[in-house]
Structure 1
């Protein structure tokens, strides 16, 4: 077998494969023998069908299959061994091979080559890095959430914001009387704080137990069918028939009293001995929030590195004809119109992919199994942190991360996250960072 590669231009090449009978004959004979051993034909015992008959019936199809398998195997080896920087897959050119009569075959493939380019980064290159500010209000909110876990609930006589009300809800007619056959809900529970309409919310200010108030649930909750259906105990499609006023007789007012900031709470949230007073507790909470923000900042930093490096490299040359054929091959069901509409965007993504590969290679970034395992734990830890769970036992993290590693898609995503994490760290030491303090609100606006 002979395989050769001839460059057509800087970004495309012609790969030629010449296959002789000696290259494939042993494979073909072995497959035909296997078929003979298993063949069941009338008039012959199993395994005793004459080889000549087997060859006449199966010879051509076996030859086609074995030549194709051999060619794919050897072409793959050639591309790997010769480090051909190919994009996509080889595109077969039309062949005049006749498998009925020929013994030697020649096949040709169009190859799209990755464009060559240079890219070096140093402290002469400046990229923005956004430091998201952790405010006292954020820390207050997080601390409040923790104290609410140990809260107690008291029955009170007068309503204040965030209190929960329980009572009799009754639909009224146009004259303000209880509507005959109307909706009535005993033990209806609601929190006026979550009403969307301020005027309706104000009706409950200072209300006391046994007070009867009149309000409009539809207006109060801005015609949200799901919320109204839950409150009125109706199906969502029935809500539209009950848009009028309701009376609400308050039977009970419940107030949540947050728990105290105790050593027990500090240990429960952070781990034993990590904080000994409120000041230390708040400092640890602030640090945890900052850690969560750091990954967001790194993500934005890599996006800015992408924009910066793509501008520095400029527009790369691609074999457009071949690239469109490859794209069409991968999106047959979507057709040429899809390819034409999305081609430039796909080149943009491909350009960044090639740049990222070069940066990864230049920084000798490798992904080990331990990196994947650690990233799975960090991803799990981050998920728990979203719910305010900072002190998660290692055993629990281990169990959750093991489940994540069982899914191939999850592993692929974790590998990519490891690469991007290591790349961000490497880039932060190579380029000059233009640090910019920013609020979380303004930071999030950049992604809208």
Structure 2
């Protein structure tokens, strides 16, 4: 087999592979003999089928498969032995590739276009300055989180007098122009309403300080600004078309007022949020919440730093020459649709960053071991648990969750990539100068959108 590479320029190559008869003949003949040994064809004893018949039935398929194997191995070995960095997979050359006939030809020449990865220099030094943001965990943030957790142990209670955000149950009846219950008008038994959701301020004030058994007069259409969905739900109407003409006042007789009362800050709350016996005082509870908030925002700070480091690397690399036409062919084959210039620009940026990171991983001798992947899986599992409010979970549960994540190949590859990026970020932090800045959550969220 002959393999050669012609460099059309720095990033475009023409790879030629010639598969000759002596490369495949012995293997093809062996496979056909195995077919003949096992073949069972009516009219012939097992193992006695004429080789000509075997070749007629299987010869071309065996030849094509064997040539393709040799071709694939030949390309891979040539690229590896000659240390050629390519992007994507070789594509058949659309101009020079001749048509192949496996029935008549004995020698097969394949010509491929290959995209050669450009040389990129994106070295960093202590002269490079990057902002590193730390979110200050304020008492207000801690208290807001405590109040959020108090809803876990809260309950609805029946009260006698209305306050903002209470829920009202009652009987509604449509009124005529004189304020009397309209004969044949709409009546609704046991409807539910939250006056705090009313959009029109004057209508909302009607319910202020209302008590059980009070009968109030209000206008639903004005109250909810004619919103069909809200009015249909309140008045239990099936036909939304009726609402457009339904602008009358209604009476609302309150039968029940229910108020959600947040749970107390006590041991029940501590145990429900953090686990039994983890803390025993409000001070300890708040300190744990502060730690968890710091951990969560710490991850977001690392994410922001990673984005800023990526931009630094891209700026360092500058304008890179890529085999644009060939890459567009590749992307089109992968996506099965036309690629917009904006899509291509984003793809090239991602590719540039990927090539830079590959070089830096080699430079900093970054290695990923099994324990790194396990720790990353546990970190992601712990973060997902926190998103659902489980701030403290036993190690056994975290471990099981992590192992289940690693069973999925796609998720496992994502975790490996994250583990590499984490180590690469750590290495870059050691090689640049970090400007450490403390910011509020509002300032940090604004920074993330830039």
TM-score between both structures, scaled by the size of structure 1? 0.87
Q: Which residue of 1 aligns with 2:405?
A: 404
- Distance in 1 (CA, whole Å) between partners of 2:83 and 2:131 is 36
> Which residue pairs with 2:396 in the alignment?
395
Deviation at 1:348, TM superposition (A): 1.6
What displacement does 1:293 show? 1.3
Change (3 A) 1:307 1:198: farther
Closer, same or farther: CA 37–323 of 1 in aligned 2, 3 Å: same
Residue 228 and residue 104 in structure 1: after superposition, are their counterparts in 2 closer, same or farther (change >3 A)? same
Which shifted more, 58-67 or 264-273?
Answer: 264-273
Shift in Å, 1:196: 4.5
Contact 1:225 1:239 survives alignment (8 Å): no
Cα contact 1:268–1:391 (8 A) shared by 2 = no
Confirm or deny that 1:16 pairs with 2:22: no
Query: Secondary structure at 1:109's aligned position in 2?
Result: strand
Q: Secondary structure at the match of 1:9?
A: coil
Q: 1:280-291 alignment to 2 at 5 Å?
A: 280-291=284-295
Change (3 A) 1:297 1:15: same
Aligned partner of 2:161 in structure 1 is 158
Partners of 2:58 and 2:402 lie apart in 1 by 50
Q: TM-score, structure 2 length as denominator?
A: 0.86
Structure 1 window deviating more from structure 2 (44-53 vs 110-119): it is 44-53
Number of aligned residue pairs: 445
1:274 to partner: Cα distance: 4.5
Alignment partner of 1:389: what SS?
coil
Q: CA deviation at 1:278?
A: 2.2
Identify the residue that residue 449 of structure 2 maps to in structure 1: 447
Write the distance in 2 (CA, Å) between the matches of 1:116 and 1:130.
33
Separation (CA, whole Å) in 2 of partners of 1:213 and 1:342: 59
Matching residue of 2:417: 416
* Larger CA deviation: 121-130 vs 42-51: 42-51
1:198-237 map, 5 Å: 198-217=201-220, 219-221=222-224, 227-234=230-237
- Using the TM superposition, give the Cα deviation of residue 235 of structure 1 relative to its aligned residue in structure 2, in angstroms: 5.3
What is the correspondence of 1:21-420 to structure 2 with a 5 Å cutoff? 21-36=21-36, 41=41, 43-44=43-44, 48-93=48-93, 94-172=97-175, 176-178=179-181, 183-217=186-220, 219-221=222-224, 227-234=230-237, 240=243, 244=247, 245-271=249-275, 274-331=278-335, 333-335=336-338, 338=339, 340=341, 342-420=343-421
CA displacement 1:119-167 (0-9 Å, x = unmatched): 2222211112232333332211211122232234432211112322222
Q: Tell me the residue number matched to 1:425.
A: 426
Deviations 1:255-295 (A, max 9, x none): 33333322443344234554443233222212211211122
The alpha-carbon deviation at position 426 of structure 1 amounts to 2.9
Residue segments in structure 2 that go unaligned for 5+ positions in a row: none
CA distance in 2, matches of 1:158, 1:255: 10
Structure 1 segments unaligned to the other structure (5+ residues): none
The CA RMSD over aligned residues, in Å, is 3.1
* Distance in structure 2 (CA, Å) of the matches to 1:294 and 1:89: 39
Q: Secondary structure at the match of 2:98?
A: coil
Closer, same or farther: CA 216–349 of 1 in aligned 2, 3 Å: farther
Q: Is the 8 A contact 1:12 1:111 kept in 2?
A: yes
Q: 1:406 to 1:237 in 2, by over 3 A?
A: farther
